[in-house]
Structure 1
Amino acid sequence: MPLQEEFEQQGNFLFKHRSYIPILILLASFIIYTINIRDGKDPFGNGIIYLSLGVSIIGLLIRIYTVGHSPANTSGRNTAAGQVADTLNQQGIYSIVRHPLYLGNFLMYLGFALLPMSIFFVIIFCLLFWIYYERIMFAEEQFLRGKFNTMYLNWALKTPAFIPNFSLFNSTEIHFSWKKILKKEKNGLAALFFIFWIFYILRNYLMGKVILDYSFWTLAMVICILLYFILKIIKQNTNWLDEAER
């Protein structure tokens, strides 16, 4: 099979199974984290935890900004069934980077990868992320190229794939939708603080401290999990979060 078709086939396969990469990253992070905690390294006892949380939150905010300004069925917000794009996003954050959602994912995962305090692990994570998502981005762009042709090519020629060029920013006319954020990104917020809390209680267990306490991490996790279930119930039983063409 020619490489172009092979990359596209691999990308479509990985796209449908893209939820597995965070699981693998977390498993590796927990293993290395456990080893380093036993060696006396404590990210919760120094500035690493704030760096990790900050990086992950920046990633989540990028996703929130992207999703909040996107209409329904546009490039960049696809489903497990395959690629979906009625229009090509070119304004707002899509005017400075072609794959802002994957940039957001990268930063969210990078925050977790920083917690084991291993430069080697961070480098390996970055390489694996790039190999994994490069195929997915390639498949998406093949789909967009086939559907939008010259419009896509003109946009792709001037807009970087992954590292934003802020000088290209062009504001969007699509208003920010908090309803869409509450409906679409509740999972990311809950998962972020739940995972940091898991790291926190694992650290307490390994260091012989009180496992469950009233720390910021426990309170933040409880609030975010409660918010997740409240929004899930609202979504399933009402139309409060529905918005036309969003």
Structure 2
Amino acid sequence: MVQIGNFFFKYRNFLFIFLYLALFIPSTPVFSEATFGPHYYRYPLIIGLAITILGQLIRGATIALAYIVRGGKDKKVYANTLVTNGIFAHCRNPLYVGNILMLVGAGILVNSLLYMLVFIPLFLFIYQAIVLAEEHFLRNKFGTQFDAYTKRVHRWLINPVGLRKTVSGMHFSWKRWLKREYNTQVIWLLFIVVILVFKYSNNWAWDETTRNTWFIVAVLVLACYYYTIRYLKKSGKWEEV
């Protein structure tokens, strides 16, 4: 599993593009009109959006409170220090938990049984392998310090005990959140927009002109957001907190 994890660690960014594109593979729906009535689409819409937004919020809180270098080094697992504060004091892999929720929510939002039964389990297997590879590295580098950390903090489950105290006792750097996360945010939001506009437009009785107008407006807003944050980051106008 460690070798498998090291392999996928190199290509994990491409993995997300593949998984987002897989959302649009035709599939039997999870929620259907025959089972849930004429307003069945409300279930995947509300549940899917709630879960995927929760995933992004978890990522945001993690990065804003105690940022961890996610890129590795030379496409290999790497860490200078063992980060155990912030959300990492309540879960060893909160960023990955956020990613999982973002994709599970997107799968529910697109109402794809195929995605939920095939691609999500595949994604979970790959992430488990990546985490085991990272833990192998961290255990070799930090030894008993990492072992002690694993004994008090769960690999996947976020322990809510003391979470409020953790958040209130640390500085929340929303600038760091936006600077470090805007690429992920824009890609995620773009796919959410595509799903909402092109999958749900019939449920909202939009004609083609209305649908296309909303899509163009959403893309322009995302483009403005992307290039604004990129400019602020590259120009040095936002100092790292």
- What's the TM-score, normalizing by structure 2? 0.81
CA distance change for structure 1 residues 137 and 14 in 2, over 3 Å: closer, same or farther? same
TM superposition shift of 1:202: 3.1
1:96–1:159 CA contact under 8 A, matched in 2 = yes
Task: Choose the corresponding residue for 1:59, options 55, 58, 68.
Answer: 55
2:198 aligned to which of 194, 199, 202: 202
- TM superposition shift of 1:197: 1.6
After superposition, where does 1:166-245 map in structure 2 within 5 Å? 166-167=160-161, 169=163, 171=166, 174-203=170-199, 204=201, 209-210=207-208, 211-214=211-214, 219-236=217-234, 238-243=235-240
The residue matched to 1:166 in structure 2 has which SS? coil
Partners of 1:189 and 1:224 within 8 A in 2 = no
Alignment of 1:81-230 (within 5 A): 81=74, 82-119=76-113, 121-167=115-161, 169=163, 171=166, 174-203=170-199, 204=201, 209-210=207-208, 211-214=211-214, 219-230=217-228
Give the SS at the match of 2:118: helix
Deviates more, 1:19-28 or 1:176-185: 19-28
Instruction: Say which SS state the counterpart of residue 213 (structure 2) adopts.
Output: coil
After TM superposition, give the deviation of residue 108 of structure 1 in Å. 0.7
Instruction: Spell out the pairing of 1:31-46 with structure 2 (5 A cutoff).
Output: 31-32=25-26, 45-46=41-42
AA matched with 1:99: N
Match of 1:18 among 9, 12, 17: 12
Give the corresponding residue for 1:77: 70
Q: What is the CA–CA distance in structure 2 between the aligned matches of 1:189 and 1:59, rounded to whole Å?
A: 11
TM-score by length of 1: 0.80
Give the secondary-structure state (helix, strand or coil) at the position aligned to 2:105.
helix
Deviation at 1:221, TM superposition (A): 4.4
Residue type of the alignment partner of 1:142: H
State the shift of 1:109 in Å.
Answer: 0.8
- CA drift of 1:119 comes to 4.2
Inter-partner Cα distance in structure 1 for 2:207 and 2:13: 33
Give 3-state SS (helix, strand or coil) of 2:239's partner: coil
What's the Cα RMSD here? Answer: 3.0
Query: Aligned partners of 2:118, 2:159: CA distance in 1, in Å?
Result: 25
Structure 1 CA distance, aligned partners of 2:56 and 2:220? 18
Q: How far 1:96 sits from its partner (Å)?
A: 1.4
For structure 1, the 5+ residue unaligned runs are: 1-6
3-state SS of paired residue (2:155): coil
Decide whether the 8 Å contact of 2:91 with 2:158 is kept in 1. Answer: yes
What SS is found at the alignment partner of 1:162?
coil
Question: Structure 1 stretch 227-236 or stretch 120-129: which is displaced more?
Answer: 120-129
CA distance in 1, matches of 2:147, 2:106: 35
- Following superposition, the deviation at residue 87 of structure 1 comes to 2.0
Q: Distance in 1 between matches of 2:41 and 2:153?
A: 41
Q: Deviations over 1:9-52 (max 9, x none)?
A: 3212211100222223223320126x75xx97999942321221
Identity of counterpart residues, as a percentage?
Answer: 28
Distance 1:103 1:143, change over 3 A: same
Contact 1:43 1:117 in 2 (8 A): no
Deviation at 1:121, TM superposition (A): 3.2
Q: Following the alignment from structure 1 to structure 2, what is the Cα–Cα distance between the partners of residues 157 and 54? A: 31
Q: Deviations over 1:120-179 (max 9, x none)?
A: 531323311221011110111111111111110001012111122222647276522222
Provide the secondary structure at the position in 2 that maps to 1:154.
helix
Report the AA paired with residue 166 of structure 2.
Answer: S
Per-residue deviation, 1:185: 0.8
Letter in 1 for 2:237: W
